[in-house]
Amino acid sequence: MRCVLLALSLAPAAQAQRAAGPGRPADFLDPAFHRSRRELLRQALPAGSAAVLFANPVRNRANDVNYIFHQHPDLYYLTGYDEPDAVLVLFKEPQTVGGQAGITEALFVQPRDPKAEQWTGRRLGTEGTRQQLKLQYVADNKDFAGAGIRWADFKHIHFLELPTDVRDDSRNPADLFDLVATFRRQAAIPADYDARRDALYTTVQRYGMVNAAGIKSYVEGLAKNQPALATDAYLQGYLKATTDAERQQAVAARPVSRFEVGSLNDALDELRAVKTPEELKLLRQAVRISAVGQQEVMKALKPDMGEMEVQGLHEYVYKKYGAEFEGYPSIVGAGSNGCILHYETNDKPRLGNDLILMDCGAEYHGYTADVTRTAPPSGKFSPAQRQIYELVLAAQDAGIQACKAGNEFQAPNKAAQKVVAEGLIKLGIIQTPEEMRKYFPHGTSHYLGLDVHDRGNYKPLQAGNVITVEPGIYIPEGSPCDKKWWNIGVRIEDDILITADAPENLSKEAPRTVAEVEAMMAKSSALDNFKLPALK
């Protein structure tokens, strides 16, 4: 029987092809999008600044096999470049780079290499990058060291935390290891510079007065596990302050440094928190693909299936619609495994009649969905399963209703927690609202985009934010409640676009209510007659 899935339309092809090889998809983000992001970031820099962003490392899986390369989301957001061993430099004021004056942006990329490309795929190289991505200045990464960037002249040098666990390929004089080493040497970054500490300084400086209690607790928690923070003069001065006047003085005493991590992080958080129409086209596609995956798997679910088979069905649907990857390791847990929040083993050979929790998301051209559904492999919820499911659903409804522009970011979480606490008390599973955290230990919401836990500023919700709403209840065996609840794990998660009016549920095609789930599971599946030969 031919597999027929719900028809999905690809994002409009007005977006230009950016791939190195022929016959690739043509709906990647247009170079104009990336250029606008670079310009907005450059505008956010203070006078006398340079900002430096590196490509992600190539990660080794085992022996001579690497993981599939995944670009650093920030570098991809700013350039569209999807290859390793690269560095982007943005300048607030025009500079001379490689002997060329008036440069505000420079991208150094890996060169063409016919022998390497025969084994690992085509590269854009400098000319391809210049033509397709339309940056002002593009050069071979080997030219970075001799580009003549006058690092000593900058009042501020912004960068993200530098990778410290990168392999040095002795055959490549300008791999990521060498690019980072060149930058550290030429910019004269002190050997003891701690990027995480600098980011923490920025947090204290920004929020140390408006949320003194929260920031104090946060810093104290970090200092317990990081001895360097426990003896840091600036942080300890802030923690010892007891009045607003003392705190103001402590915050203002931040050590002066040309090197900053926190400011660049903050600027990128601001930019990436609000999705543009171009981004939403790709994000909608990823979410719709994931929602259809939930539909098709529900139709196919049977008690004699295994978790790994269910995972494979989701991911087959993703590939069928052109999603390159999963946005994160698929979480497919039946029974007690569904009570493990980030369960990724997915190797239970038979589902049986336990609920199966499926937290899966397709990644389409870099943008990832995050959709969770929980279903009974038998096709029908038991009475106990149904009660917990409908409580989670009611909590999610309350959370989604709170997804309104102007509400604080935590509004959906608070609304969902209230419903769960009251419901668990009513069911006799807990006695006080505070006990709710035992069975609902996570928050409901995070930003969604180029990362599954995407960048964002966590300010009040605004139009263009895309967030998750994902309440859950997890009751592992041995919990202090009636045994009929044991090993029930339920999470329902949708991807919500904040608008000027009502929130839009981007993943609404995935069945949510008990009636919708059971009705979908009663439908025939294109896979019902799919039989593989037995392995002997």
What CATH number does the domain containing 406 carry? 3.90.230.10
pLDDT given for residue 16 in this prediction: 44
329 & 345 share domain: yes
pLDDT given for residue 346 in this prediction: 98
203 & 298 share domain: no
Confidence class of residue 206 from pLDDT cuts 50, 70 and 90? confident
pLDDT in tens, 367-379: 999 999 999 999 9
pLDDT given for residue 17 in this prediction: 44
295 & 372 share domain: yes
151 & 199 share domain: no
Confidence class of residue 24 from pLDDT cuts 50, 70 and 90? confident
pLDDT in tens, 311-339: 999 999 999 999 999 999 999 999 999 99
Last residue of a domain, one of 130, 164, 187: 187
88 & 221 share domain: no
For the segment 518-522, the average pLDDT, to the nearest whole number, is 98
- 2 in any annotated domain: no
Q: Which residue's entry shows tokens 């854009």?
A: 124
- 18 in any annotated domain: no
pLDDT given for residue 518 in this prediction: 98
- 324 in any annotated domain: yes
pLDDT at position 297 over 70 = yes
pLDDT in tens, 27-45: 999 999 999 999 999 999 9
For the segment 153-158, the average pLDDT, to the nearest whole number, is 97
pLDDT given for residue 19 in this prediction: 56
Compute, in degrees rounded to 10, the torsion defined by CA atoms 322, 327, 333, 337: 160
For the segment 348-363, the average pLDDT, to the nearest whole number, is 98
pLDDT given for residue 164 in this prediction: 86
For the segment 209-227, the average pLDDT, to the nearest whole number, is 91
393 & 458 share domain: yes
pLDDT given for residue 4 in this prediction: 40
pLDDT given for residue 217 in this prediction: 93
Work out the percent of the chain whose per-residue pLDDT is above 90: 88
Last residue of a domain, one of 187, 207, 226: 187
167 & 74 share domain: yes
- 380 in any annotated domain: yes
- 25 in any annotated domain: no
Question: CA-CA distance, 339 to 525, in Å (whole number)?
Answer: 28
- 370 in any annotated domain: yes
pLDDT in tens, 116-148: 999 999 999 999 999 999 999 999 999 999 999
| Number of domain units in the chain | 3
pLDDT given for residue 20 in this prediction: 60
Work out the percent of the chain whose per-residue pLDDT is above 70: 96
pLDDT given for residue 428 in this prediction: 98
Please answer whether residues 315 and 326 qualify as being in contact, where contact means their C-beta atoms are separated by less than 8 angstroms.
yes
- 124 in any annotated domain: yes
Residue 210 has what DSSP assignment?
Answer: T
Q: How far is CA 319 from the centre of its chain?
A: 20
pLDDT given for residue 12 in this prediction: 35
pTM score of the predicted model: 0.93
330 & 454 share domain: yes
116 & 228 share domain: no
Q: What are phi and psi of 503, to 5 degrees?
A: -65, 150
176 & 321 share domain: no
**Domain of 245?**
195-268
Confidence class of residue 195 from pLDDT cuts 50, 70 and 90? confident
Question: CA-CA distance, 146 to 473, in Å (whole number)?
Answer: 57
Q: How many helices (H) and strands (E) does the chain have?
A: 17, 19
Question: CA-CA distance, 323 to 317, in Å (whole number)?
Answer: 9
pLDDT given for residue 199 in this prediction: 86
Question: CA-CA distance, 138 to 125, in Å (whole number)?
Answer: 9
pLDDT in tens, 55-84: 999 999 999 999 999 999 999 999 999 999
248 & 151 share domain: no
Last residue of a domain, one of 227, 253, 268: 268
- 26 in any annotated domain: no
User: What CATH number corresponds to the domain at position 114?
Assistant: 3.40.350.10
Range scoring the smallest mean pLDDT among 105-109, 254-258, 275-279: 254-258
68 & 161 share domain: yes
